[in-house]
Chain A
Amino acid sequence: MSPHSRRPRSTARDIERYGALFAERTKVMKSSAMRDLMALTEREDVISLAGGLPDTSTFPADSYASLMGAVAAESCSRALQYGPTEGLGQVKRCIAEVMRAEGMEADEDEMLVTTGGQQVIDLVCKTLVDPGDVVVCEAPTYPGAVPTFSTYQADVVQITMDRDGMRTDELEATLDELERSGRRPKFIYTVPNFHNPAGVTLSLERRHELVRIASERELLVLEDNPYGLLRYEGTPLPTLRSLDQDFIVYAGTFSKILSPGVRLGWACAPAPVLAKMNLGKQAADLCSSSISQYFVSAYFQSTRPPSWEDYVRSVNEIYRRRRDVMLDALAEHFPREAEWTHPQGGLFIWATLPAYIDTTDLLARALEDHVAFVPGRAAFVDGRGGSDMRLNFSGVGEDDIREGIRRIGEVVREQVELYGTLTGAAPRSAPRREAVPAAPAAPAAPAAPAAPSEPAAPPARTAHDPANVLPLRRKRA
C-alpha cells in the first residue's frame, strides 16, 4: 500500500463494530435537525439571515495588528504558553470592567475564563447533569444549547415565553409538578436579554420572580448574557446576578462585544460550583487560549482608539439600523398572517407564521431563491417551533436584509395563497403596508393547526358516491 493510500471507507459491518463501542450518550446526540439544509445557507450566493454572526468587519485592522504586535513585543513567550485553567488575572480585570458596565461587581476569584460562552453551558452541564436529570429552559431556547443538553442526556423541559420573556408563573407550576413526581431540576437556563432566538427581554418583575424561585427552591439558574450590552433602545435591566449571587451562574462572553474569534468567555458562580467547573475545564482543554487572553488584555489597556466601549457603541449603531431595516422590511413584505418580535437589542428577530407552514420546508423553498433563515424547530427539543423562524440582522448589510426579507416574504405569501386555494379560504396574503407598531408578539406558543372554519362532520359518503365537488369544510386534525 502506498504512503498516500487511504483506508477503505467503512462498510455496514464496520459501522456495527464501532457502533458497539459508542457511549450511550452518543445515541441521543442530535445534530441540528436541518444540518444539510443549513450547510447550504452558507453558500456565497445565498443571503443568509440564518447565522448568529456579529459583524467584525468594522474592527480596525490596524488596531488588531498593533495589539498583536504589542503582545508579541511584551509577552511573546507567555502568550505562546499554557496558562492557568481559571484564566489570567489581567483578563479577569477586563471581565470585571465589562461586568461593571452592566451594574455587576465580581472578584477575580469568582471568575473562570472559558473558551467562549458556549463552554460555560457545557461545563455547567458537565458539573451538574447526570443522564435523565431535568434541565429547564425557555421555549424556544438558544439552538446552540440543545446539542449540549442532548450530549449530557438531560431531560429538557421548556417553559413558554411571551413578550416579557420566560413565563415565571408557568415555571413555578412546572416546578411544582416536577416536585410532585419526585424530580428536581439541576438548573434553569435562561437568556434574559434580547433572547436568542426570540428577541424578547425578561421583564424586571419576572427577573425578581425568577430569583425568588431560585432562592426559595435552591435551584441554580444559568444566566447566559452574551447580548446585554447590545442595547439599542430602552433602559437596561439589572442582571439576575446583580439581584442574587447565591444561585446564579453567570455566563458572559467577548464574542459579541469584541470578537467571536478570540473564543473567550467567562463564568461567575458560587465558589463550590466554580471549583467543579474549573476541574471540568481542566479536563476539557487545560486552559483557554493564552494568545487570546493577552490580546483582549492589550485591547482593554490600550489608549489607542477605539476604546472597547466606543467599539461597542459603534457596532450597536450598525445593528440598530439593521434591526430597523429588517422590521420595516417585515412590515412591508410579510403577510398579515405573520407575527414577529421587536427586540430592543441583540441580534435576532423571531417570526411566527401560520401553523400550516413548516419553516423547515419553507427553508428548502427559500434556498431556491437564495435566501436563508433558521427554522424554529432548532430551538426546541420536542418538535415544536415548526412554524417559527429566527432571523438574524447582524450578519449582512442593510441592502441584503431588505432583499432577503423581500424574498422570504414572497415565498411565505406564496404558501399562504396556496393554502387558501387548497382549503377554499379567502387568500389574505397581501403584505402589510403600514408599519407594525413596536408591540412584540408572543413567540413560540405551540400552535394548534389552523382551521379555516369551525369543525364540521363531512357529508356521509358511500362507496358509490361520486366526487363531492363542493368545497368541504376541513376537519381539525
Chain B
Amino acid sequence: MQDALERLGHDVLPVDVGADLVQRLTGAQPDLAFVALHGRDGEDGTVQELLEVMGIPHTGSGVSACIRAADKVLAKHAMRDAAIPTPDFYAFSETAFRELGAAHALPAIEERLQFPIVVKPAGQGSALGIKFARTPGDVPSALVAAFSYDRKVLLERYVAGRDLAVSIIDEEGTPRALPIVEAVPEQEDFYDFEARYEIGRTRFVCPAALDEAVAARACAIALEVYALLGCSGFARVDLMLEADTDELYVLEADAIPGLTETSLLPQAADAAGIGFDELIERIVAAAGAVRVA
C-alpha cells in the first residue's frame, strides 16, 4: 500500500512499529497514519490508542472497535447478546483451568458443543493455534496449543460448510458490503495459516457463487456486526454457511483486515470494480484526511 499511497501523490513514511514508535511519530507529525499491522498490538487497539493520544488521525476503526473485534470472546458475546448468529461457544482463561478446576467442566462442554470442537486462541488473527478436537482425548492438547498464543481460549461448535468473507468499506460515512469472497483451500481441510499467505494454495471465488437471498443475508449480517462492534473505515466479517442447514454464522470480525496480495478485501474490492489504488484512496478519505492531488 506504500506504493499505492505514493502513486496517489502522498509523501509516505513507512514505519515499522518498535520501541521508537512514539518518538518517530512525534518527530514526523504525519497528517495520517495508515494502519496496516497484523497481530496482537496492531489489531487490538494498542496502536490506535497511542495514535489518538498523539492526536494523529488514522485509518480504520477506533480503539474500542478494535478491542471488541480483536478479542473473539468479547465479539462473540456481543453478537450473541444482539441475537446475531455465531457458533455456540465457551471461553476460558488459563487461570480458569489452573486455579478453578475448569477441566472438570470439559465433559459438559463437549456434550453441549458436540464434536468436532474448534479450539482457538481468543486473540489470534490468522489460523495459528486453531485445532480441531474430534474426540475428548484431543481437547487437552488442543487447549495447550491454543494457550500458546493467548491466555484466553474459545471452544466453539464446528460449523461444516462454506467459508465466506464479507468486506466492508465506508463510503461517505455509509458502510457498504463488497462482493463476498469464498475461500476454498486447495489442500488443507480448512483455511489454515499457510493457505492464508501462500499464493496458489487457496482458490478464491469472488463474487461467491451464492443464492441471491443468502448473499444478501450474509451482507446484512456482516453490516450488523460492523455496526455492533463500532467499526469504521473498513473491516471484514468472516462467516460460515452451514452445509446442512444453509444457516449463516459469524466466526469473527477483523477490524484491520489484510491488504496483501492474497488478502480478501482487495479481492472483494476488485470484484466491485475498485482497483487497489482506489481502495487505498477510499480508506484514506474515510479517515478524513485531505488527498494530495
Contacts and interface: CB of A to CB of B under 8 A. Distances in A.
Interface string A351-368: 000011110011011000
Contacts of B138: 449, 477
B6 A6 contact: yes
Nearest to B107: A468
Contact of B108 (A9, A451, A468, A471): A468
Contacts of A10: 261
DSSP class of A's interface residues: helix, strand, loop or mixed?
Answer: loop
Contact of A466 (B4, B97, B108): B108
B137 A474 contact: yes
A469 B136 contact: no
Interface stretch (B61-69, B73-81, B143-151, B157-165): B143-151
DSSP class of B's interface residues: helix, strand, loop or mixed?
Answer: helix
B105 A5 contact: no
Interface stretch (A113-121, A127-135, A196-204, A416-424): A416-424
Contact of A477 (B137, B143, B271, B277): B137
A110 to B, nearest CB: 41
A324 to B, nearest CB: 30
A475 B275 CA distance: 53
A364 B206 contact: no
A476 B141 CA distance: 12
- Which range contains the number of A residues in contact with the other chain? 35 or more
B200 A423 contact: no
Interface in B128-173: 128-129, 134-141, 143-149
Interface string A399-429: 0000000000000000101110111100000
A472 interface: yes
Interface in B250-281: 261-262, 266-267, 270-271, 275-277
B148 A362 contact: yes
Contact of B103 (A423, A451, A466): A423
A472 B149 contact: no
A6 B148 contact: no
Nearest to A18: B199
Interface residues of B, number: 49
Contacts of B261: 9-10, 15
B277 A19 contact: no
B234 interface: no
B259 to A, nearest CB: 9
A477 B135 CA distance: 6
B224 interface: no
Contacts of A355: 141
A471 B200 contact: no
B7 A474 contact: no
Contact of B143 (A9, A418, A424, A466): A418
B3 interface: yes
Interface stretch (A25-33, A70-78, A142-150): A25-33
A467 B105 contact: yes
B194 interface: yes
B194 A11 contact: no
Contacts of A471: 103-104
Interface of B: 1, 3-4, 6-7, 94, 97-98, 103-108, 111, 128-129, 134-141, 143-149, 193-194, 197-200, 204, 206, 261-262, 266-267, 270-271, 275-277
Interface of A: 4-13, 15, 19, 22, 26-27, 31, 33, 36, 355-358, 361-362, 364-365, 415, 417-419, 421-424, 449, 451, 458, 461, 465-472, 474-477
8 contacts: A6-B7, A11-B266, A356-B141, A361-B128, A361-B144, A449-B137, A470-B104, A475-B135
